[in-house]
Amino acid sequence: MRQIIFLFLAFASVLVSCEKEPKIITETIIKTDTLIVTQYDTVIQHVTDTLTLTQFIRDTATTFIVLRHAETTGIGSDPALSADGLLRADELLRALKNVQIGAVYSSNYNRTRQTAQPTATDKGLTVQIYDPANQNPLINTVLSSHKGGAVLVLGHSNTAPALLNLLTGTNAYPQMPDSQYDNIYVVTVFEKGRAEVVHLKYGKPTP
């Protein structure tokens, strides 16, 4: 079984434990007011059975758990998840098993809804549809309705970074490579434009 790989970010304090021997990775800290974003040249963090996201959830702020949909078949204009994608959706459920989620949001596409559904079902929630081309209403709704709680938001390689930029008030997050499906961002939002971000990996690694 893969040895625990652990990362914790709290105001520029980073602890990393990885496979085999401990390894320090290169990082750049960007500070804007109370915003702290850590950008990694080499990301080796993985969420494991013994590492849940609960440690990153603060009841004094609102937490957005933001990620892209899982792998797809690539067939048609609205492809479904592939076998690997279905496995990743189940891995997301496992990673969030002990996290209290107040709502699950997805864009209205098969690939995002199917990625979100296992977690929503496990939490007894309905997948709510939002417009990824206009994410301000989503942010306003979550900040007003889920203060002190956490929500899961499924988007796309371009819309998930756009949401991160809106939440942090920066342009720090570019579009994700089409081949990457394993990024997960835990965003602690004190108010729109003022947030802290923890970048994690989950499931099968992708390039």
Residue 86 is part of a domain; what is its CATH number? 3.40.50.1240
Domain-located, residue 135? yes
Domain-located, residue 86? yes
Domain-located, residue 3? no
Which of 47-56, 57-66, 141-150, 187-196 is predicted least confidently? 47-56
Domain-located, residue 42? no
Domain-located, residue 1? no
| Total structural domains within the chain | 1
The rounded distance, in Å, linking the Cα atoms of 185 and 169 is: 15
The rounded distance, in Å, linking the Cα atoms of 194 and 112 is: 27
Q: Which pLDDT band holds residue 28 (cuts at 50, 70, 90)?
A: very low
Domain-located, residue 28? no
Token output for 67: 């990620």
Q: Rounded to 5 degrees, what angle do the CA atoms 158, 162, 167 make? A: 155
pLDDT of residue 114: 98
Q: Does residue 122 register a pLDDT over 70?
A: yes
The rounded distance, in Å, linking the Cα atoms of 139 and 159 is: 13
pLDDT of residue 205: 85
Q: Which pLDDT band holds residue 1 (cuts at 50, 70, 90)?
A: very low
Ranges assigned E (strand) in the chain: 6-9, 14-17, 27-32, 35-40, 62-68, 103-106, 127-129, 150-155, 183-191, 194-201
The rounded distance, in Å, linking the Cα atoms of 177 and 189 is: 25
Domain-located, residue 24? no
Q: What is the pTM of this model?
A: 0.78
The string of pLDDT tens digits covering residues 62-115 is 999 999 999 999 999 999 999 999 999 999 999 898 899 999 999 999 999 999
Token output for 70: 């899982």
C-alpha atoms less than 13 angstroms from C-alpha of 206 in its C-beta half-sphere:
19
* Residue 9 CA, distance from chain mean position: 15
Domain-located, residue 134? yes
Where in the sequence is the domain holding 170, given as residue range(s)? 56-194
Token output for 128: 């709510």
Q: Which pLDDT band holds residue 44 (cuts at 50, 70, 90)?
A: very low
